[in-house]
Amino acid sequence: MLQQIRQQLEQTFSKELLDKLFESYQLTNEHHYLGKHRPCCAEGGRFAEAAIRMLQQVTTGTYTPLGSSIPNFSREVLKLEKADSKFPQSIRIQIPRTLQVIYDIRNKRDVGHIGGDVDSNFTDATLSLVCCNWVMTEFVRIYYTSDIAAAQNLVNSIIKIRIPLIQDFNGFLKILNPDLRLPAKVLAFLYYRGSEGAEIDELNEWLKNRVLVSHMNVTLDRLEHEKAFIHRKGSRCFITDSGRKYVEENIPFTVNG
């Protein structure tokens, strides 16, 4: 799916800009889910710098070269507001103003604060992530599909949260903590796969058939019906919001040793 989206966007935007956009978007999501708030905000800034260049390209045919700093980000935002009205309002106004918010979090908030009753690292990172998600969805909506719900689902499907607990060998997932129990391993796999989910056969393959099929079925039944941590559609399993929360709060992402 990611490749299809990229191929469509490459009809409008430079490949090098899309490389930077998708890389920083992935890392913004990844850092946020792993609780790395300062890096999350930093990557959000990189996302904003790539996205503002994409808006420059689509409205003027050229953009500030990568490797050269954008002298005045706010001025670029104002320029876009004055672009030809033939461009969607989102391209001229909403996206640029949202990028300004992301950019300012990185540059003017020092992406972290000491003291206080609220973890402003977390709030800054969350705002940055939400803004990046919205901008990415708008790009997909405008240049890939005109349906906002479909665009959001497509954006959700391209996010893969890399966690130290799992190593990905070209699609074969390996748990690096063999002491985890079967339910935790299943949830970790499904957490990693996100909205893509996983076939039961894939789960069995990643576990190298060390459990009986009947044992796996009992485990999946409990996770689905007793815990509501997963949802099954045919032979495909998906993690639920409550399952995702359980993983983040109870399964160590790091590997000891």
Q: Which residue has the tokens 């076939």?
A: 199
**pLDDT tens, residue by residue, 17-30:** 999 999 999 899 88
pLDDT > 60? residue 51:
yes
The mean pLDDT of 184-195, rounded to a whole number, is 89
How many other C-beta atoms lie within 10 A of the C-beta of residue 180? 16
**What average pLDDT does range 51-71 have in this prediction?**
95
Q: What is the pLDDT of residues 125-160, one digit of tens each?
A: 999 999 999 999 999 999 988 788 888 788 877 776
- CA quadruple 254, 255, 256, 257: dihedral, nearest 10: -130
pLDDT at 65: 95
Q: Would the pLDDT of 47 be above 70? A: yes
pLDDT at 8: 87
pLDDT given at position 29? 87
Per residue, the 3-state secondary structure of the chain, as one string, reads CHHHHHHHHCCCCCHHHHHHHHHHHHHHHHHHHCCCHHHHHHHHHHHHHHHHHHHHHHHHCCCCCCCCCCCCHHHHHHHHHCCCCCCCHHHHHHHHHHHHHHHHHHHHCCCCCCCCCCCHHHHHHHHHHHHHHHHHHHHHHHHCCCCHHHHHHHHHHCCCCCCCCEEEECCEEEECCCCCCHHHHHHHHHHHHHHHCEEHHHHHHHCCCCCCHHHHHHHHHHHHHHCCCEEEECCEEEECHHHHHHHHHHCCCCCCC
pLDDT at 112: 44
pLDDT of residue 116: 44
CATH topology of domain 166-250: Arc Repressor Mutant, subunit A (1.10.10)
Q: What ranges do the domains of the chain cover?
A: 2-157, 166-250
Do domains 2-157 and 166-250 share one topology? The answer is: no
Q: What is the pLDDT of residue 151?
A: 83
User: In this predicted model, what pLDDT tens digit does every residue of 235-245 receive, in sequence order?
Assistant: 999 999 899 88
CATH, range 2-157: 1.20.120
Question: What integer pLDDT is reported at residue 227 of this predicted model?
Answer: 96
